[in-house]
Amino acid sequence: MGKKGYWMAMVDVRDPEMYKQYIEANAVAFAKYGARFAVRAGRHENPEGPTGNRHVLVEFESYEKALVCYHSPEYQQASKFRLAASTGHFVIVEGA
């Protein structure tokens, strides 16, 4: 079995109402590409400085599937809400 793919995001949400639209819209892409949330918000501590007010780790069965999901029309439509509602750091990585 190949290595999994992950989306890792540390986000500072400025517009919670618009961010809710992102969450609703991204569900279509995540269902299509088999995404699983390992972390979705929750309690956190920033011992080394600010990291935003929302932290997310999404798991995919492969790195390739993580990339395909990100570039899909379904996710690109949803991402417009995220980009308008928040700032942060986002990376797609290959993992164990």
What is this structure's pTM? 0.91
Query: In this structure, what CATH number is given to the domain that contains residue 68?
Result: 3.30.70.100
Residue 54 lies in domain: 5-94
pLDDT tens for 52-63 read 999 999 999 999
| Residue 36 structure tokens | 């699983």
Which band of pLDDT confidence, cut at 50, 70 and 90, is reported for residue 1?
Answer: low
Is the Cβ–Cβ distance between 30 and 59 less than 8 Å?
no
Q: Which residues contact 86 (CB under 8 A, 6 or more apart)?
A: 11, 12, 13, 14, 15, 19, 52, 54
pLDDT tens readout for residues 9-38: 999 999 999 999 999 999 999 999 999 999
Domain count, the chain: 1
